[in-house]
Structure 1
Amino acid sequence: MSWVLSKDPNEEAPKVKPSSYNPSFYATHKTGTTFEVQLDSQQLHKKNVGWSGWEFVLRNYTAIGFMSMSSTPEWVKNTKVNLTIVDRHGVEIQPPQNKSSQLEFSYQLPSEVISPVVKLKDLLDKYKDRASIPKSETNKYAGMYQEWKITDLESLTDDATLLSFAKQHNVNIYGFFSHTAKIWKEVNEKLSSDKRRKFWRPGIQVVTENMPTGRVIDIDLNYGGGNKDRAFIVIELNDVRPDYGRKIFGDDVTNFVQTIASKIVSHFVINREVLKSTKKPHGGTDSEQQFNADLRIESARELNILDIDLPFEKEPQFEQDVVGLFHVLIGANILKGYRILSVSSGAQYDGVMRYYLKNEAEYYYDGRENLLGIIQQNFPPANIIRSVPKNLEFKYYLSDLIDEFESTDFTTKNFDDIFWVVTWEIGNEETFSKSGYNLEDLTINSSYTKRQYFGVTHHLYSNGNRAINVLVLKDVIRLLRKQ
């Protein structure tokens, strides 16, 4: 491991030697597979993952997580998986009281670890002859779940195109919906004492060839956006191949899973009376949607940029508002040179953008009339500032992105992959210093001389790496008001 981690290119590679490895497994089994993961004190995080945390990792991120909602092959039924964890002192860590060392040879689902839960279809069938579900079954469960086979999908949609796609790929679906979005944090804390670890998260997990493929995809909802954070949906598709390099699927798959996921969330919301009550409404009904919309409008401040007529009239309240305002500022030619190539909540990063700006006097920095500009000396000899397409990330608070960088979640974002970040506010400034990041403000003193792209307000550094270009739109608006 020291050779793998070494930065010395001349360090000699380790030589293969005969192994003396002789686990107890060999004494009781003539066939099978065994492997061990050994972590020393430098590689093992200070916080404990825990026995249940390792169970999650093995069942949801390795081949042990076999997934088939249509049928279970005999070889799967006959496969036995045992988990043994020994700490550095040689003491075996015992599984929780409700578990044994033998793991299920299957993908772990939320309904296995969250309680109390109810299988919604069974509950509805039980009381199908009644006008409503009895009061004894309302305000009772932490979550509900349901499975849909091919023959069940017509209860979700009558769209012939969707149904044809489902039949073509023999689709099977599992959906889970919790009483609160906080449920994932609560479950994660039970799996590990490290609060940064994100084992469970809401969204869509696509399964192909009996294995989860790609990362968990955010659910796009046209309304009741908060409901997406309560749902975890597994969609099993046969004969579908993702782009393994980018870990995403084609538009046909993405459109299908997003449309079906939206309909599943609506199905759960309609039956949400069985869930424990929460302080905030789940959304879904016309009155609740209107209530949330009115509250959002009343709480938002007017942008009020003098002498500029923008169709985006309110300060952003959510990340999607940041996306909208950024597009408006580009369209109004306030932010100059930006060329958006793609924006997608289903990909690992939010978008792709390139830059192209000619050396012209109207783009030069001026302390009175053009506070967002670039000093003339920063234009290259070719008189054009340009960049190839680079990853773009949107956030309401910039500090939220730092939390994602620092997260030990297997789907975390990578600092080196991101070139542009657009946010509304900085957020928690302590997050940067505590995590070893440096945020340089280009709007104060003479720091504007370091600006390479029009409107960039900050540079974000990590361990001396090249800077991420940050546009904090609240600061952009503030500078526009001063001009």
Structure 2
Amino acid sequence: MITNDFDPLNSSDNFDSEIVNSAKKREIRNILKSYVGIFDSFSELIQNSLDAVDKRKKVETDLEKKLWLEVNLQDNSFTISDNGIGFQQKEFEAFLAPNISFKDGSGTRGNKGVGATYIAYGFNKLTLGTKNADFNYIGQINNGRKWVEDKEGIVTRPVVTSFGQIPDLFKKTEQGTFFKIEYGGDFTRPKNLSYFSANNAEQWIYLLLLKTPLGGIYFDDSTDQTKFNLKVIDSSGSVTEIDNESALYIYPHSKIKASANIKEIARIQKQLLDKGKDPSKLPAKYERLNGVYENYSSEELKALPTNRLEEKHHLLIDEYSIEAYGYFGYSTQLWDEFNDNLAKLRKGYRVLKGGLLIANNNMLQGDYIAIPLTSNIGYQNQAHVVVHLKNADPDLGRKGFQPEIKELCEILSVGIVNKLKHWKNKLRNDTGAKPVITTQINLHNWIKEQENHEQSFPLDLSNPNFFKPINEISISSVPQSEQDVVVLFNQLIAGGVIRGLKLLATSQYATYDGIFKFYIKEPRENHIFDKVTNPLGVQDLGLPIDTVSNPMVLEYKFNLNALFQEFENEDKFEKDVNLAIAWELGDVWKRNYDVTSLLDLDNLHHRQFHGITHIIHSKTSNFNLIVLKELIEYLNDVDGVQDFHTKKYGEDIFE
């Protein structure tokens, strides 16, 4: 019988220590399960240091807030030191325990008291230190993760032991904190820092600014910025460093040249209108842009072009002082160019890409969320949206936000895309060619680059049956742009390589690139296949001589991925296109289409008109392709490319 009042939170004090130990393990294990991101360990340490320097700044207003970070691929470790407030002894002894936090939750990046537990028990070696006028200590905790995952009771519960050496990074400041995680071991993530395929400071700075709280989300020109130094030691011991950088997020427009703020464009248009001039005649710097962007205040968010914003959403916008940023690029290739050639990270990683990111108290929270467009769905991959809240309450760990907040952010992201897409007429056309996102090179360098390209990538098509009397093509190097594709295609027609069509018109301004007609005329043998003299001919001339088709729509692209993106965006429609001409086919077709290669001699009977190289099929339509790269390779060696076309496009109907 219970005769006295009791506190259920203290009831475990009288239990057997083994029971309490098991309960603690379960509690910590549940915390660790909420941390699934590959950058979570970096993020927790960085956010704690940022909060620490902010806290000290409130007391010492002249403080220059500073972090020192070290990524060491030799000993597989990440270290961070700061000149923040430091710990008091009681705080230091308790902060690693579950659900213990000394943050007030108002404006701090974390406050649930689980991040430090994850750092201590999610890995097997953590060195930590603190120093200020009241308390100095350096300690180490080992085998935290091994103990948590130990089901047999073999691993002793770890304790923090004193560590005699003062790490070099901790000598940088008279006050602050220090943490070093050494990775490796079962259940840890990442196990090895080589996972990121980044070996120098120039690469790691993009990872840390775009994937962790180091990239602070701010929409004003605040001068109170935290600075940081970054040192990276690669696996061979080589050192690269970047000093005194600002802890700010890398917004796309800050790195992608030819990006314009739509507020600025609108302001210039108003000035032109006020002067009685045509507002559509903008300065050249606002035409053929890589992207457009805009920042949005709370009031501007309420006015976004979407019919889904209700009064309850307006209340949430005010409650969390929501602001946002949106960037709309002309092509998803911008993200590849940014990743591969600016950040120089693993190809295809897309450290920056289209989608929605949600931030709280100046810190990104969670991963990309798809922007839920119901039309022009391809735009969800071209638009980069960041929605920022103040003092919202994310889920445990680094997972995300409550459903009503997530829903609101998704609605706002759709409204932002709806607004930005109205300016797409100011963007360059997506031809599939590689974007230029850095400052334009000067004419001399451009000429030299083309000379080098000609030597490195010569275009060879020598055949006694074409281009008489010299029997070789005039264009000397592999195409690099849509314009090169147009030139090469016209040469192939003029040289008699492609004989089955005539061009009627081309346009830079209409929705589609040109108009053409298929035709068949004497001599008949010009259209009939011969493996040596006419390898692009038809097997049987199923149509009579002097057949001329109705006018049809023609599209040029460097890479056909760009055309499929336009179909997804509903800028163009596959049912309207009869022929597409490109240098390369790309790989986006695999999502929704099948391709029949007419360069596979087994499919020769499908070719109706001279020169067609492929037919692309969807569930509702099909159209013809001329893929120039594969056409050239085929003409140079018909038999040699058969295995390639069979394997790439063939379909084995038997198991």
Q: By how many angstroms is 1:285 displaced?
A: 12
Q: Which residue of 2 aligns with 1:261?
A: 413
Farther-moved stretch of structure 1 (35-44 vs 118-127) = 35-44
Is structure 2 residue 296 aligned with structure 1 residue 148?
yes
Amino acid at match of 1:200: L
Report SS of the residue matched to 2:168: coil
**Residue 289 of structure 1 is aligned with which of 542, 560, 570?**
570
Q: Quickly say closer, same or farther: Cα 1:259–1:45, change in 2 above 3 A.
A: closer
Q: Quickly say closer, same or farther: Cα 1:38–1:85, change in 2 above 3 A.
A: farther
**Residue 233 of structure 1 is aligned with which of 377, 380, 385?**
385
Q: Which residue of 2 aligns with 1:79?
A: 226
Q: By how many angstroms is 1:225 displaced?
A: 0.9
CA contact (8 A) 2:217 2:249 kept: yes
CA contact (8 A) 1:49 1:192 kept: no
CA contact (8 A) 1:138 1:273 kept: no
Report SS of the residue matched to 1:122: helix
Report SS of the residue matched to 2:194: coil
Q: Which residue of 2 aligns with 1:51?
A: 201
* Residue correspondences, number: 303
> What are the Cα deviations for residues 420-441 of structure 1, in whole angstroms up to 9, with x where unaligned?
xxxxxxxxx99xxxxxxxxxxx
User: C-alpha distance in 2, partners of 1:93/1:69?
Assistant: 30
Amino acid at match of 2:173: H
Q: Quickly say closer, same or farther: Cα 1:165–1:318, change in 2 above 3 A.
A: farther
> What are the Cα deviations for residues 209-248 of structure 1, in whole angstroms up to 9, with x where unaligned?
2211121101111111111111110101234323336824
User: C-alpha distance in 2, partners of 1:61/1:46?
Assistant: 12
Is structure 2 residue 335 aligned with structure 1 residue 184?
yes
Farther-moved stretch of structure 1 (3-12 vs 236-245) = 3-12
Q: Quickly say closer, same or farther: Cα 1:81–1:193, change in 2 above 3 A.
A: closer
Structure 2 gap ranges (5+): 1-123, 126-142, 185-190, 273-278, 433-510, 512-561, 581-588, 594-646
Q: By how many angstroms is 1:253 displaced?
A: 2.0
- Correspondences of 1:308-457 after superposition (within 5 Å): none
Q: Which residue of 1 aligns with 2:163?
A: 18
Q: By how many angstroms is 1:89 displaced?
A: 4.0
> What are the Cα deviations for residues 144-189 of structure 1, in whole angstroms up to 9, with x where unaligned?
2110112323542484524343223211011111111111122122
Q: Which residue of 1 aligns with 2:132?
A: none
Q: Quickly say closer, same or farther: Cα 1:52–1:9, change in 2 above 3 A.
A: farther
Q: Quickly say closer, same or farther: Cα 1:253–1:71, change in 2 above 3 A.
A: farther
User: C-alpha distance in 2, partners of 1:185/1:64?
Assistant: 23
CA contact (8 A) 2:355 2:369 kept: yes
User: C-alpha distance in 2, partners of 1:21/1:194?
Assistant: 35
**Residue 62 of structure 1 is aligned with which of 207, 212, 234?**
212
Is structure 2 residue 313 aligned with structure 1 residue 169?
no
> What are the Cα deviations for residues 129-151 of structure 1, in whole angstroms up to 9, with x where unaligned?
33215261354322221101123
**Residue 105 of structure 1 is aligned with which of 239, 247, 268?**
247
Q: Which residue of 2 aligns with 1:126?
A: 268
> What are the Cα deviations for residues 244-290 of structure 1, in whole angstroms up to 9, with x where unaligned?
3682433322332222211211221111232222138899999x838
Q: Which residue of 1 aligns with 2:240?
A: 93
Q: Quickly say closer, same or farther: Cα 1:34–1:192, change in 2 above 3 A.
A: farther
Structure 1 gap ranges (5+): 96-100, 300-316, 322-428, 431-442, 446-483
> What are the Cα deviations for residues 361-383 of structure 1, in whole angstroms up to 9, with x where unaligned?
xxxxxxxxxxxxxxxxxxxxxxx
Q: Which residue of 2 aligns with 1:219?
A: 371
User: C-alpha distance in 2, partners of 1:257/1:318?
Assistant: 32
Report SS of the residue matched to 1:235: strand
Report SS of the residue matched to 2:367: coil
CA contact (8 A) 1:149 1:173 kept: yes
Amino acid at match of 1:144: V
Report SS of the residue matched to 1:216: strand
Q: Which residue of 2 aligns with 1:116?
A: 258
| Percent of pairs with identical residues | 18
Amino acid at match of 2:297: K
User: What is the root-mean-square deviation in Å for CA atoms of aligned residues?
Assistant: 4.6
User: C-alpha distance in 1, partners of 2:181/2:576?
Assistant: 52
User: C-alpha distance in 1, partners of 2:211/2:389?
Assistant: 18
User: C-alpha distance in 2, partners of 1:236/1:82?
Assistant: 26
Q: Quickly say closer, same or farther: Cα 1:36–1:126, change in 2 above 3 A.
A: farther
Q: Quickly say closer, same or farther: Cα 1:42–1:24, change in 2 above 3 A.
A: closer
Farther-moved stretch of structure 1 (158-167 vs 136-145) = 158-167
The normalised TM-score by structure 2 is 0.39
User: C-alpha distance in 2, partners of 1:199/1:258?
Assistant: 21
User: C-alpha distance in 1, partners of 2:199/2:334?
Assistant: 18
**Residue 175 of structure 2 is aligned with which of 4, 16, 31?**
31
CA contact (8 A) 2:295 2:325 kept: yes
> What are the Cα deviations for residues 22-74 of structure 1, in whole angstroms up to 9, with x where unaligned?
31562x532244555667996524833542331133223434233233684x7
Amino acid at match of 2:256: I
User: C-alpha distance in 2, partners of 1:292/1:240?
Assistant: 43
User: C-alpha distance in 1, partners of 2:412/2:214?
Assistant: 27
Q: Quickly say closer, same or farther: Cα 1:234–1:78, change in 2 above 3 A.
A: closer
Q: By how many angstroms is 1:320 displaced?
A: 10
CA contact (8 A) 2:262 2:294 kept: yes
Q: Quickly say closer, same or farther: Cα 1:277–1:293, change in 2 above 3 A.
A: closer
User: C-alpha distance in 1, partners of 2:348/2:332?
Assistant: 17
> What are the Cα deviations for residues 96-120 of structure 1, in whole angstroms up to 9, with x where unaligned?
xxxxx22212233222332232222
Report SS of the residue matched to 2:381: helix
User: C-alpha distance in 2, partners of 1:290/1:202?
Assistant: 18
CA contact (8 A) 1:118 1:143 kept: yes
CA contact (8 A) 1:59 1:106 kept: yes
Q: Which residue of 2 aligns with 1:376?
A: none
